[in-house]
C-alpha cells in the first residue's frame, strides 16, 4: 500500500493527514493557522506536525509517494510558490514546496486548495460519476475547483476558479482585493462574522451565527437568506459559464447544511438560463471538511 501526506493550509486552520491510495485517512491533525507569526515559522510548525502525523500513522517514509499541499491562491503551482493570498496576508512569494521539501525526502506538490478538494470529490466523493462539476468552498475565503470534461481546469499558474473575487454587488463596499462587492466580501465566513457582528452589536464568529440561525433569531435568519441568495447568484454564473451537472459545496460555512443548499437550489431553479441548468444538482461535499486534505494527498497519486 502506498500513502501520501495531504496538507491543507487555510486562512483559519491547517489540516494534515496521512492518506492511503484508496483515499482512507490513517492519521490526521488540525492546527490553527497562526497569522501573527512569520510564514517561515508557521511552515516550521507544519513540518513538525507532518512528522508527528507520519509517526502516528506508523507509515514508513519509503511507503510515502509524496506530500501534497493545498493552499489559497493566488499561487504558482508549477513553481511551488504561494504568491499573495488575501487570507494569508504575510505569505508573499513563499516557496512553500521547497521549504517543506527540505525536511522530507519525498516529492512535494502544490495546488490551489479548492482545486485539490475538487479532485478529492471526483476521486472518492460526491462527484465520482461526474465529468463536469464545480466544487465551491465557502470558508475563510471563497474559491472554486472546476472539473470540465473530466479534467481539472488549472489555467496558466493554477489559479483558475478563483471566484471569490467575482463582483456580485458593489454596494457591499470594498473588498481586500480593491474591487467593490466581491463574492468573498459578502458570503465568506469572514464576511458573515463581520456583518453579523454589526447587526448584533457585538463580536461574533460565523460559527456563532450558525447557532443563532438554528435558534431562528429573526435578524440573523433574514440576513443569512440574503447571503444564501448571493451564493445562488454565484452558482447561476458558474452554471451559465460551465454547464456543469453538479455543484458541490464544502468549507466551514457549508456546515449551515440543507437550509443553505435549499436556498441556493431555489435560486438556481429560477434563474439559471438553460432549462437543464435549472436542474443542476446542489449538494454537500461527501468528504465534508476532509475534502481539502484528501485532495492535497490525491495530488501525489494523480501526478505520480
Ligand atoms: P479554512 O478557511 O482555514 O480552510 P474552514 O473551511 O473551516 O477553514 O472555514 C473557516 C470558516 O468557517 C470560519 O469563518 C468559521 O467561522 C466558519 N465556520 C466553521 N464552522 C462553522 C459552522 N458550523 N457554521 C458556519 N460557519 C462555520
Ligand atoms: Zn475581491
Task: Give the three-state DSSP class for 269.
Answer: helix
Atom of ligand 1 nearest to the CA of 13: 3
What is the model's pLDDT at position 236? 98
List the alpha helices (DSSP H) in the chain: 39-57, 96-101, 113-124, 183-187, 189-200, 206-214, 218-242, 258-271, 291-302
pLDDT tens sequence across 246-282: 999 999 999 999 999 999 999 999 999 999 999 999 9
Question: In angstroms, rounded to a whole number, what is the distance separating the alpha carbons of residues 118 and 225?
Answer: 26
Atom of ligand 1 nearest to the CA of 256: 24
Residue 196 has pLDDT above 90, yes or no: yes
What is the model's pLDDT at position 137? 97
pTM tops 0.85:
yes
The answer to whether the CB of 82 falls within 8 A of the CB of 91 is yes
- The reply to whether ligand 1 has any atom less than 6 angstroms from the CB of 189 is yes
The answer to whether the CB of 143 falls within 8 A of the CB of 72 is yes
Q: What is the dihedral of CA 267, 269, 274, 276, to 10 degrees?
A: 140
Positive or negative torsion for Cα 219, 221, 226, 227: positive
The answer to whether the CB of 300 falls within 8 A of the CB of 293 is no
Phi-psi category of residue 116: left, alpha or beta, with phi > 0 → left and psi -120 to 50 → alpha: alpha
What is the model's pLDDT at position 302? 79
pLDDT grade for 222, boundaries at 50, 70 and 90: very high
pLDDT tens sequence across 22-78: 999 999 999 999 999 999 999 999 999 999 999 999 999 999 999 999 999 999 999
112-136 mean pLDDT: 98
Residue 303 has pLDDT above 70, yes or no: no
Grid coordinates belonging to 87: 487570507
CA of 183 relative to ligand 2 center, distance in Å: 7
Grid coordinates belonging to 67: 506530500
Which of 206, 210, 220 best tests ligand 1's pocket when mutated (most atoms within 8 Å of CB)? 206
What is the model's pLDDT at position 97? 98
Q: Show the domains of the chain with their CATH numbers.
A: 3-117+290-302 (3.30.420.40), 128-285 (3.30.420.40)
CA of 14 relative to ligand 1 center, distance in Å: 12
- The reply to whether ligand 1 has any atom less than 6 angstroms from the CB of 194 is no
Residue 156 has pLDDT above 90, yes or no: yes
Grid coordinates belonging to 35: 497569522
Question: In angstroms, rounded to a whole number, what is the distance separating the alpha carbons of residues 51 and 39?
Answer: 18
The answer to whether the CB of 119 falls within 8 A of the CB of 19 is no
Neighbours of 52 (CB within 10 A): 14
164-193 mean pLDDT: 97
Residue 304 has pLDDT above 50, yes or no: no
For the chain, how big is the Rg over CA atoms in Å?
19
Amino acid at each position: 500500500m502506498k500513502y501520501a501526506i495531504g496538507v491543507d493550509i487555510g486562512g483559519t486552520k491547517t489540516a494534515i493527514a496521512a492518506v492511503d491510495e484508496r483515499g482512507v485517512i490513517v492519521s490526521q491533525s488540525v492546527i490553527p493557522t497562526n497569522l501573527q507569526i512569520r510564514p517561515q515559522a508557521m511552515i516550521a510548525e507544519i513540518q513538525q506536525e507532518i512528522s508527528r502525523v507520519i509517526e502516528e500513522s506508523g507509515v514508513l517514509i519509503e511507503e510515502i509517494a509524496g506530500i501534497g499541499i493545498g493552499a489559497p491562491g493566488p499561487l504558482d503551482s508549477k513553481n511551488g510558490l504561494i504568491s499573495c493570498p488575501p487570507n494569508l496576508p504575510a505569505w508573499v512569494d513563499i516557496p512553500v514546496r521547497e521549504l517543506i521539501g527540505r525536511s522530507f525526502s519525498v516529492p512535494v506538490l502544490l495546488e490551489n486548495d479548492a482545486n485539490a478538494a475538487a479532485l478529492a470529490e471526483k476521486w472518492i466523493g460526491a462527484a465520482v460519476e461526474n465529468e463536469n462539476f464545480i466544487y465551491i468552498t465557502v470558508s475563510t475565503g471563497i474559491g472554486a475547483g472546476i472539473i470540465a470534461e473530466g479534467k481539472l481546469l488549472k489555467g496558466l499558474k493554477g489559479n483558475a476558479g478563483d471566484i471569490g473575487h467575482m463582483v456580485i454587488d458593489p454596494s457591499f463596499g470594498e473588498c481586500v482585493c480593491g474591487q467593490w462587492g466581491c463574492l468573498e466580501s459578502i458570503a465568506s465566513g469572514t464576511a458573515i462574522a463581520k456583518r453579523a457582528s454589526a447587526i448584533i452589536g457585538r463580536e461574533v464568529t460565523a460559527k456563532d451565527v450558525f447557532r443563532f440561525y438554528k435558534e431562528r433569531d429573526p435578524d440573523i435568519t433574514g440576513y443569512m437568506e440574503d447571503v444564501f441568495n448571493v451564493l445562488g447568484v454565484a452558482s447561476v454564473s458558474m452554471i451559465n459559464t460551465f454547464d456543469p451537472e453538479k455543484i458541490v459545496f464544502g468549507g466551514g460555512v457549508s456546515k449551515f447544511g440543507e437550509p443553505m443548499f435549499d436556498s441556493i437550489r431555489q435560486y438556481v431553479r429560477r434563474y439559471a438560463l438553460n432549462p437543464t441548468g435549472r436542474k443542476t444538482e446542489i449538494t454537500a461535499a461527501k468528504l465534508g471538511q476532509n475534502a481539502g486534505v484528501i485532495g492535497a494527498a490525491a495530488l501525489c497519486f494523480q501526478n505520480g
